[in-house]
Chains A and B, each alone.
Chain A
Amino acid sequence: MYRRPSRKCKFAESKKPNLNPLLDSTFIFIFFLLYYATFVHFFEISSEVPLVSNNPPPDKNPPLALTVKVQPSRLEVYTGIPAVRQKVIGRTNEGHYDFAQLREYLFALKKKHLQENSAILEPQDSIPYDELVKVMDAIRTLKNTDEELFVTDKNGISKKLNELFGQIIFGNIQS
Chain B
Amino acid sequence: MRARRTARYGRKKKNQAFDVDITTLLDVLITLLFFLSKTFDASGITIDVADQVRLPDSETQSRTAPGVMVQVAPGMIWVDDKVVYEEKVTKGRIFDMNGHRIIPLFDELVAKKNTIEAVQKSSENAQKFTGIINLAIDKAINYDLVKKVMYTAAEAGFVKYKFVVLGEGGGM
Q: Which residues of chain A have a CB within 8 Å of any CB of chain B?
A: 19, 23, 26-27, 29-30, 33-34, 36-49, 70, 123-130, 132-134, 136-137, 140-141, 170, 172-174
Contacts and interface: CB of A to CB of B under 8 A. Distances in A.
B147 A172 contact: yes
A37 B42 CA distance: 9
Contacts of B165: 42-45, 133
A133 to B, nearest CB: 4
A38 to B, nearest CB: 4
Q: Kindly name the residue among A40, A42, A45 whose own CB sees the greatest number of chain B CB atoms within 10 A.
A: A42
Interface of B: 22, 25-26, 29-30, 32-33, 36-37, 39-42, 47, 49, 55-65, 100, 134, 137-144, 146-147, 150-151, 154, 159-167, 170-172
A41 B150 CA distance: 24
Main secondary structure of the interface of A (DSSP, over half): mixed
A173 B64 CA distance: 23
Given A70-B143, A173-B154, 19 more contacts: A40-B170, A41-B171, A42-B63, A43-B62, A44-B63, A44-B64, A44-B162, A44-B164, A45-B60, A49-B154, A128-B140, A129-B139, A130-B140, A132-B143, A133-B57, A134-B56, A136-B58, A174-B100, A174-B151
A123 B59 CA distance: 20
Contacts of A70: 143
A133 B59 CA distance: 9
A95 B64 CA distance: 31
B39 A37 contact: yes
B118 to A, nearest CB: 24
Nearest to A123: B143
B7 to A, nearest CB: 19
Contacts of A44: 60, 62-65, 134, 162-165
A147 B171 CA distance: 28
Contacts of A45: 58, 60, 62, 162-163, 165
B102 to A, nearest CB: 13
Contacts of B134: 44
Contacts of B61: 43
A38 B47 CA distance: 10
Nearest to A20: B22
Contacts of A140: 60
Contacts of A141: 59-60
24 contacts: A23-B22, A30-B29, A33-B37, A36-B41, A38-B40, A39-B39, A40-B166, A42-B47, A43-B164, A45-B162, A45-B165, A47-B160, A49-B154, A49-B161, A125-B142, A129-B139, A129-B146, A130-B56, A130-B139, A130-B140, A132-B143, A137-B59, A172-B147, A174-B151
